[in-house]
């Protein structure tokens, strides 16, 4: 089972991914976490991307596609993947399709967590205090939200026509959302 969790920044993708990872032993593919890890390690990639990440801008496709490639093709992880924050553009979605079809995999479920902008702003303000992420501030959120609307939201049309696409009201309580997701997985 390969799953994509889709939604704007602050929609709760990471929270639901953690729930699914624990319950179904899936492997969490968060490009945001992978990139933050490169910055923490002070790797060459980390040094290149630190400013873009802090400003809430997209990191280049080349870097992000390369980071997910090894995970998607790893025999220990493949067919057990939950994508969080990837794909974020049509070109990334096409890259993922190619990687998956080339390794006899597919996306089995796409879950869209739909949350309005006002709720996102309130959540990011809270998360800023708890997680201390350097890109969680109102100015950066405005950038990230605009980029989401311009570049990421069109990916929704790409997936919504496919079977196993589900939209969930992401303003519900965390366990209500998890319960809805469970029903898509037939448990």
Residue ranges in contact with ligand AMP by CB under 6 A: 9, 31-32, 35, 52-53, 56-59, 64, 85-86, 88, 92, 135, 144
Nearer to ligand AMP, 17 or 109 (CB): 17
- Minimum Å distance from CB 92 to ligand AMP? 6
Q: CB of residue 123 vs ligand AMP: minimum separation in angstroms?
A: 12
Spatial distance between the Cα atoms of 9 and 76, rounded to a whole number of angstroms: 29
26 three-state secondary structure: coil
Report the candidate in 103, 111, 40 with the shortest Cα–Cα distance to residue 77. 103
Instruction: Give the shortest CB-39-to-ligand AMP separation in angstroms.
Output: 10
> Least separation, in Å, of the C-beta of 68 and ligand AMP?
8
- Would you say 96 or 168 has its CB closer to ligand AMP? 96
Q: Which is nearer to ligand AMP, 91 or 160 (CB)?
A: 91
Comparison of 85 and 170: residue with beta carbon closer to ligand AMP: 85
Residues 6 or more apart whose Cβ sits within 8 Å of residue 61:
89, 91, 92, 95
CB 53 → ligand AMP: shortest distance, Å? 5
Sign of CA dihedral 104, 66, 132, 113: negative
Question: Which residues lie closer than 8 Å to 170 by C-beta, 6 or more apart?
Answer: 7, 11, 12, 113, 114, 115, 119, 177
Say how far apart CA 142 and CA 158 lie, in whole Å: 24
Contact 140/146 with Cβ under 8 angstroms?
A: no
Residue at shortest CB range from ligand AMP:
32
Closer residue to ligand AMP, CB minimum distance, 138 or 179: 138
């Amino acid at each position: 089972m390969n799953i994509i969790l889709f939604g704007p920044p602050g929609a709760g993708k990471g929270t639901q991914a953690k729930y699914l990872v624990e319950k179904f032993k899936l492997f969490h593919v968060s490009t945001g976490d992978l990139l933050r890890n490169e910055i923490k390690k002070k790797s060459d990639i980390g040094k290149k991307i630190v400013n873009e990440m802090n400003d809430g801008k997209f990191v280049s496709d080349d870097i992000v596609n390369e980071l997910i490639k090894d995970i998607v093709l790893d025999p220990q992880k493949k067919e057990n993947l939950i994508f969080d924050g990837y794909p974020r553009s049509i070109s990334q979605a096409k890259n993922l399709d190619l990687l998956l079809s080339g390794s006899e995999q597919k996306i089995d479920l796409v879950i869209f967590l739909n949350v309005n902008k006002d709720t996102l702003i309130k959540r990011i303000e809270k998360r800023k205090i708890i997680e201390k992420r350097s890109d969680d501030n109102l100015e950066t959120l405005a950038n990230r939200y605009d980029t989401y609307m311009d570049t990421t939201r069109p990916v929704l049309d790409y997936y919504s026509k496919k079977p196993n696409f589900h939209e969930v009201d992401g303003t519900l309580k965390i366990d209500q959302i998890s319960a809805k997701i469970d029903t898509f997985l037939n448990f």
